[in-house]
Chains A and B, each alone.
Chain A
Amino acid sequence: MPEKHVAAAGELMQSAELAILDTPLTLTALEKCLLNEYQRGFPLCASPFAEIAEQQGVSEKDVIGTLQSLQQRGLVSRVGPVFAPQRAGASTLAALAVPDAELAQVADFVSRFEAVNHNYEREHHYNLWFVVTAADEAQVQQVLDCIEQQTGLPLLNLPLERSFFIDLGFPLWC
């Protein structure tokens, strides 16, 4: 793989992204640091927040309080493991082409399945996209069958065949 080319395309874009940092969201230096630097490599030791505190020269109380605040404000969903898809269970990406007038209702029905964890509207003929995750493939299929039967809409089932992706977290301010 041409490593040099790969790196350069990313760099080209950095200045453009930096120019649109004028978000109405105001974050402290510690908040930005926790959001950006600890998406991976969270310490696996008895007192992980104390270790982060030591690395950043703040108190353990500050780290825990800041993470609690970020979570309460809806900026952090959780602190913990991200599992590899289809390693801890079975999952698939599915799509439905829903008549516009019925989208909210069908989306709400799909969201009510515990096994559905992501459910988005997308701008396409296939306008509802959702991820179904369960303990095994039979349970995933059961959910898909139920959705197809109940909605009467043709469903695209697009299970993962191969991942090229190395999850390093979400690139903020890159």
Chain B
Amino acid sequence: MVLNAQDRELIAAIQGGLPLVAKPYAAIAAQLGLTERQVIARLQVLQAAGLIKRMGVVVRHRALGYRANAMVVWDIPDIEVERIGALLATETCVTLCYQRPRRLPEWRYNLFCMIHGRERNSVLRRLEQIVAFHGLEKIPHTVLFSGRSFKQRGAHYVESSKPPGQLRRSRGQKRSHG
């Protein structure tokens, strides 16, 4: 589907979330000079087209106690990646499952999935169970737990890419844990 100018305005108005008022779509409509009915109809179209994957509450999982966040990356033979990707995607605890390009020799992994949990060991146990259950013992994989979160917010699809200024790298700065 091709987005028109009005869609882009609507996405810009709504990407930060709906206003928490009794008639949120009417509020968005007023902002854009549309009717409430037009806004709702267009959101239905965007959702039906798969552009909006879901509408609802977007939680901050870290704040809710899900602090162990593992990006599990797999080096899967190309002919197997579709089968295994589809399999991993069905696991309840897997919250993302994407194929991405290898960048040899630096980066050999072509499938990425995310597993969240309250603590590291529960995540590793889940991963072990998934590996055993789906017979993935021979597939090389590695786990990248997240450390500090430097930034997290919803994607802004309609805005500029202007650089934020210069970086002056200074060496010998002490590492601090957040």
User: Which residues of the partner chain B approach A158 to less than 8 Å between Cβ atoms?
Assistant: 100-101, 103, 107, 112
**Known A-B contacts A46-B23, A67-B57; A114 and B36 likewise in contact (beta carbons under 8 Å):** no
Q: What is the chain A residue whose CB lies nearest that of B126?
A: A13
Residue of A16, A34, A41, A79 near B17 (CB, 8 A) is: A79
B167 within 8 Å of A (CB atoms): yes
Interface size on A, residues (CB 8 A): 115
A83–B59 contact, CB under 8 A?
no
Tell me how many residue pairs across A and B have CB atoms closer than 8 Å. Answer: 344
Flag whether B34 is at the interface (Cβ < 8 A).
Answer: no
The bracket for how many chain B residues form the interface is: 35 or more
Chain B, range 131-178, C-beta contacts under 8 Å to A:
133-134, 142, 144-167, 169-176
A20 touches B20 (CB 8 A): no
- The answer for the CA separation of A84 and B136 in the assembled complex, in Å, is 28
A40 and B85 form a contact (CB under 8 A): no
B85-133 interface (Cβ within 8 A of A)? 85-101, 103, 106-107, 112-113, 116-119, 122, 125-126, 129-130, 133
Considering the complex of A and B, which 5 residue pairs feature the smallest CB-CB distances, nearest first? Answer: A78-B17, A112-B164, A121-B147, A89-B157, A164-B85
